[in-house]
Amino acid sequence: MRLPLLCLTAAAAFTFSASAQDADKTTVLHAAHMLDVAAGKLVSPGEVLVVGNRIREVGTHVAHPAGAQVIDLGSATLMPGLIDAHTHLFLHPGAEDLQTVEESTPQRTIEALLAAKADVMAGFTAERDMGSEGSGCADVAVRNAINSGDIPGPRMRVSCNAVDVLGGHEDANNYNPAQHVLSNADYANNATELVAVMRQQRKEGADFTKIYETGKDRFDGVTFTTPYQYTEAELAAAVTEAHRTGSRVAVHATGEPGTGFAARAGVASVDHAYVLSPETMKVMRDNGIFAVPTFTITEYFADHAATPQVGERERAGLKMHAAEFRKQMAAGVPFVVGSDVGPFPHGTQAREYELMVEYGMKPADVLRAGLINGAKLLDWADSVGQLKAGFYADVIAVPGDPIADIGVLKRVSFVMKNGEVLRKE
C-alpha cells in the first residue's frame, strides 16, 4: 500500500528529531575494572565516556562533562559487548527439521525477535546469523527492525537462507517426495546457479552468503567421512561474486576434500571445522581464514539426546572435535567464537567461550578470538569488539575477571548497546 506523502514526511521528521536528541546524550560508565581485550589484561578502575551511540573516551579516568549521567557499576568489570559469529535466530530448541514444516515464517519471525532480545540481554551485542533455515530473507526484516531501534537485539549480519545442492545436507530428504517438503536452504547446483541465488539474496538484503559445503557427516568413533557439495571452482565463483559487492562467503564445512576446496577458494570462515588436513590448516593460517568451532551445540545435543546411544555418539564427536581444535591451534589456524545457538536456548551461548577455554585455549586468546577476530569476520573491525574511542558504545559488565574465570561471561549484569542501557541489575 502506498502511504500519503504527508505521513511519510511526518514520520521521517519525528525519527530525525528523536535521534538528534540521543546524539547529545552523554554517559560516563564507571567500574572497579575494565578489560583491555587486545592486551589481555584488566585496567583498574575503568571508565568509558559515551556520547550518543559512540564511545568518546576510555581509560582509568575519563572526562566527566557537565550534565553527563554517571553509571557506577561498583566492583564489576566493564568489557566490550560479546560477539557470537554463528547464530540461528530462526531456530529454537526442539526437532530442528520440523520447525520449517510445522511453523509459518510469520510465527518463526516472532520467535526470532524474542531470540534477538534474549541474546542481547545476555550481553551479545553483535552476531552473524548463519541462515534463517527456511524462512528466506525474513532475517533482513529482523535486522532492520533492530537497527531502527524498534526492537532490542544485537547488531546483525544476516544471510537469508543458506545455499545447498539438491538432495544436499540441508535439503528436506527422507520425506515422501510427493509431499514436496520445502528445503531449509536455497538450491544451487552449479556455479551459475550459485551466483544467481547470491544476487537474489543480495537484492533482498543479505549481508553475506552461507553455503553448505559438506554433510551429512558420518563418524563411527574411528572413521570420519562427509561428502562435499561444491567443487573448488564452484566455490571460487561464489567468492568472486561475493567480493564483487564487498561481501563474503561462509561455509559449513568439515572433513576433506570439502574443507580444502573452501579454504583454497578463499572463503571468510569455515564453520564447525573438524577433520581438516594439514594442507587445509596451512591455507587457513596463511590466508587468515577463521575456524568457528561451535562446540556448545554438540554438548547440548549430547546432554539432551533421545537415547543413551545417541548421547554417547555426540560425546565421542565432541571429544574428537576438541582434539581437532588443539591440532588447529598448534597449526596456527585463526579462530572466531560461534556457538550455533538456536537449537539450544538463546541467551545461554556464553558457554562457547567457556568450552574453548576448557578445550585448551587461554582465556585471553578466547576473548581476542571472540571479540577482535569476531569483529573482523563480521566486517566491523573498526567499530565493535573493543572499548575504543570512535567505536559503537556496545559495553557490558560482568561480575569478576574474565581472564581468571571465563565463566563470568554467563553472568552479565549490565548491557549498553548503541549507547542505550538495555539491562542494569
Residues near Zn ion, by CB under 5 A: 130, 340
Cell numbers linked to 128: 552473524
CB of 130 to Zn ion, least distance (A): 5
Report the C-alpha gap between 123 and 412 in whole angstroms.
Answer: 6
Helix (H, G, I), strand (E, B) or coil at 368: helix
Nearer to Zn ion, 212 or 230 (CB): 212
CB of 124 to Zn ion, least distance (A): 15
Nearer to Zn ion, 131 or 334 (CB): 131
CB of 39 to Zn ion, least distance (A): 32
Nearer to Zn ion, 42 or 267 (CB): 267
> Hey, which bits of 12-100 come out as E strands?
26-31, 33-36, 41-43, 46-51, 54-59, 69-72, 77-80, 82-87
Report the C-alpha gap between 122 and 137 in whole angstroms.
Answer: 25
Cell numbers linked to 414: 549490565
Nearer to Zn ion, 130 or 276 (CB): 130
Nearer to Zn ion, 340 or 352 (CB): 340
Report the C-alpha gap between 405 and 370 in whole angstroms.
Answer: 16
> Which phi and psi angles does 27 have, rounded to 5°?
-135, 140
Stretch (H or E) spanning 283? helix 278-287
Cell numbers linked to 31: 567500574
Nearer to Zn ion, 82 or 89 (CB): 89
Contact 229, 168 (CB under 8 A): yes
CB of 215 to Zn ion, least distance (A): 11
Contact 382, 391 (CB under 8 A): yes
Report the C-alpha gap between 79 and 83 in whole angstroms.
Answer: 12
Which residues is 272 bridged to in the sheet? Answer: 253
CA-wise closest residue to 134 among 182, 69, 71: 182
Nearer to Zn ion, 207 or 340 (CB): 340
CB of 150 to Zn ion, least distance (A): 26
Q: Which residue is nearest to Zn ion (CB)?
A: 340
CB of 197 to Zn ion, least distance (A): 18
Report the C-alpha gap between 39 and 35 in whole angstroms.
Answer: 9
CB of 352 to Zn ion, least distance (A): 12
Nearer to Zn ion, 275 or 398 (CB): 275
CB of 162 to Zn ion, least distance (A): 8
